[in-house]
Structure 1
Amino acid sequence: MTTSAVVVTFNRLPMLKEVITALQNSTTKVDHIIVVDNNSKADTVAYLTNLGSQIEYVRLGENLGGAGGFNRGVRYFMEKTNDDFVWLMDDDTVPLPDTLTNLLTFAQKQGQFGFLASDVRWTDGHRAKMNNPAPVNRLHKIPEGSTTPEPLMNATFVSLLMQREIIAQIGLPITEFFIWGDDIEYTERAGRLAEGYFVPQAKVIHKMKNNVGSDVLTDSSDRLPRYFYSYRNKMYYGAKRPFIGHFKSNIRIIIDLLKALFKPGVNHRKERLQVIWSGVRAGHKFHPKIEFAEPKE
């Protein structure tokens, strides 16, 4: 079983160096390390260029966001390698030496699957809130000490393993998502073909600045514009779910709107309302085309 790791980076060179070193020190060999550079500054270019044949360097002419980066990385995996699996991660995702070993062990045992997701921890050892596993049974919360693999509804691109055969059928991540929700949509797309799983033995460290989830009601005002993509993209992938899932997705958006309207203590209330509503409106007209790679002959 051969594996390509895809790392998407943008101007976070110190963390990127740590991620690449961790991949090179994996107990199970990573056959190709594909680094997709979202038009980073000169220091990143110099470092990646100097690595030479140690990596496959894919530099983009503009910043296409995480979604565009993963689109290009998965395309490169499909068109330029013959590897069996692709292992997706951001440039602040640090695998442990046995992470890939544990993912592949489960993959071999399971056989068919849509995706495999790691147990993502923050720097203090607790779960990374941004990457909490989403079990198919939404009333069930997977405990931090769990050692049992469980079916998932979706997962994030923070240590995600996928099979070439699944990608050939579902296509590539959607570039137009830019940020937020591209991984949720993609794993739910894969999950319609085969079950996705949480693999608790396959741990990684997500070196976010703070261990917090995203919340349009409490996030700083300078970050509000990016929530446009969150709500626009939620409208798209929520509509792809079965009736009950689509209904629940819409209810959650309505609840966010009501909180932004009436919850006490919300600052910049008008701006928060505007970004939610603009994303929802755009989502009604958002119909991106799914691309497919040309498999390597």
Structure 2
Amino acid sequence: MTKKVSAVVVTYNRLTLLKEVIESLQKQIEPVSHIIIVDNASENDTKEYLESLGNQIDYVRLGENLGGAGGFNRGIRYFMENTDDDFVWVMDDDTVVHPDTLQNLLKFANVEPNFGFLASDVRWTDGHRAKMNQPAPMNRLKVIPENQVEPIRLQNATFVSLLVRRSVVAQIGLPITDFFIWGDDIEYTERAGRVAPGYFVPSAKVTHKMGSNVGSSLLNDGPERTPRYFYSYRNKGYYIRKRDWYRKNRARLRTLAEYWQIKLSKTDRKSEKLAVMKKGMKAGKIFNPIIEFADTSKKK
């Protein structure tokens, strides 16, 4: 029996890229059953375009910007409450999927049906691995090479082409809206991974059309992005508490090393960066958000 898939795309004021993403979803060799677009209160040009698509998409417009975390919460909730599809396939509005991406994810799902999540091989526009989306193998001392062919088990993954089973969502709930940005995907996939293994599927490639192929770094990021790192360190404080002793303490040591790297560096606005980091780490000690579950009794 063919499995049905809902694609969930969260967007905010990136209409040109969003159009390309929607078009790539419509050209899948293995058709998508529902294209659910969650609009984080974008400007009217996005709203008017999405409304013009009519029943080509399921349009979920939010009254305010809830960040990526809130958008994915609402999108996966919609999938659970308004469809009977077997899988949800989540991605950002700059994730251009290849014609065979879903086909290859489902091919692996047929071989290994008991999975928590499946993650794509995310490439930048030059064909090299996207640094924001480096796969995280169970052995973190190992780096998965760009020419990897065989699927491999992961600790966690990002919301850039991620496939999750409906039964797993029913068991673990939804992404945490209160995360707002950063770490919501790491927390969610680690939560799913405690139910069933997660895997990297190298044949399922996508292109992540970020402006540049760089990873996030408080040390090097510009002034307009510095305040956002509060969410990174606060959210990390929550999800590492859920890990086993070894991984929990390894993450804490890594965070401490990042603090001293900034403190001993000659970076611009050092005091501001350290203050944001300390504020986030302090908040993370008591941050205990609620995990919500979809109300499937509402299903139409």
In the comparison of the two structures, how many residue pairs are matched? 296
From 27, 35, 38, the equivalent of 2:37 is 35
Secondary structure in structure 1 of the residue aligned to 2:32 = coil
Q: Which residue of 1 aligns with 2:118?
A: 116
Q: 1:125-164 to 2 correspondence within 5 Å?
A: 125-164=127-166
Q: Partners in 1 of 2:75 and 2:261 — Cα distance?
A: 38
Q: Which residue of 1 aligns with 2:79?
A: 77
Q: Partners in 2 of 1:210 and 1:154 — Cα distance?
A: 23
Runs (5+) with no aligned partner, structure 1: none
Amino acid at match of 1:92: D
Q: 1:172-183 to 2 correspondence within 5 Å?
A: 172-183=174-185
Superimposed CA distance per residue, residues 162-197 of structure 1 (whole angstroms, 9 cap, x where no aligned partner): 000000000000000000000000000000011000
Amino acid at match of 2:228: R
Q: Which residue of 2 aligns with 1:93?
A: 95
User: Aligned-pair distance for 1:69?
Assistant: 0.1
Q: Which residue of 1 aligns with 2:50?
A: 48
Q: Partners in 1 of 2:149 and 2:263 — Cα distance?
A: 42
Secondary structure in structure 1 of the residue aligned to 2:253 = helix
User: Aligned-pair distance for 1:266?
Assistant: 1.0
User: Aligned-pair distance for 1:285?
Assistant: 1.5
Amino acid at match of 1:290: I
Pairing 1:272–2:281 present: no
Q: Partners in 1 of 2:174 and 2:142 — Cα distance?
A: 30
Secondary structure in structure 2 of the residue aligned to 1:221 = coil
Superimposed CA distance per residue, residues 49-97 of structure 1 (whole angstroms, 9 cap, x where no aligned partner): 0000000000000000000000000000000000000000000000000
User: Aligned-pair distance for 1:276?
Assistant: 0.3
Q: Partners in 1 of 2:72 and 2:198 — Cα distance?
A: 19
Q: Partners in 2 of 1:231 and 1:248 — Cα distance?
A: 15
Q: Which residue of 2 aligns with 1:238?
A: 240
Pairing 1:166–2:164 present: no
Pairing 1:292–2:262 present: no
Q: Partners in 1 of 2:252 and 2:140 — Cα distance?
A: 16
Identity over aligned pairs, percent:
62
User: Aligned-pair distance for 1:32?
Assistant: 0.1
Secondary structure in structure 2 of the residue aligned to 1:7 = strand
Query: What TM-score do the two structures reach when normalised by structure 2?
Result: 0.98
User: Aligned-pair distance for 1:249?
Assistant: 1.0
From 197, 200, 215, the equivalent of 1:198 is 200
Q: Partners in 2 of 1:275 and 1:221 — Cα distance?
A: 12
Q: Partners in 1 of 2:260 and 2:150 — Cα distance?
A: 38
Q: Which residue of 2 aligns with 1:9?
A: 11
Q: Which residue of 1 aligns with 2:283?
A: 282
Q: Partners in 2 of 1:139 and 1:280 — Cα distance?
A: 25
Q: 1:248-263 to 2 correspondence within 5 Å?
A: 248-263=250-265
Superimposed CA distance per residue, residues 122-169 of structure 1 (whole angstroms, 9 cap, x where no aligned partner): 000000000000001111110000101000000000000000000000
Amino acid at match of 2:294: A
Q: Which residue of 1 aligns with 2:215?
A: 213
Runs (5+) with no aligned partner, structure 2: none
Superimposed CA distance per residue, residues 88-125 of structure 1 (whole angstroms, 9 cap, x where no aligned partner): 00000000000000000000110100000000000000
Superimposed CA distance per residue, residues 214-251 of structure 1 (whole angstroms, 9 cap, x where no aligned partner): 00000001110000000000100011100111101111
Q: Partners in 1 of 2:253 and 2:237 — Cα distance?
A: 11
Q: Partners in 2 of 1:285 and 1:139 — Cα distance?
A: 30
Q: Partners in 1 of 2:41 and 2:219 — Cα distance?
A: 31
User: Aligned-pair distance for 1:253?
Assistant: 1.0
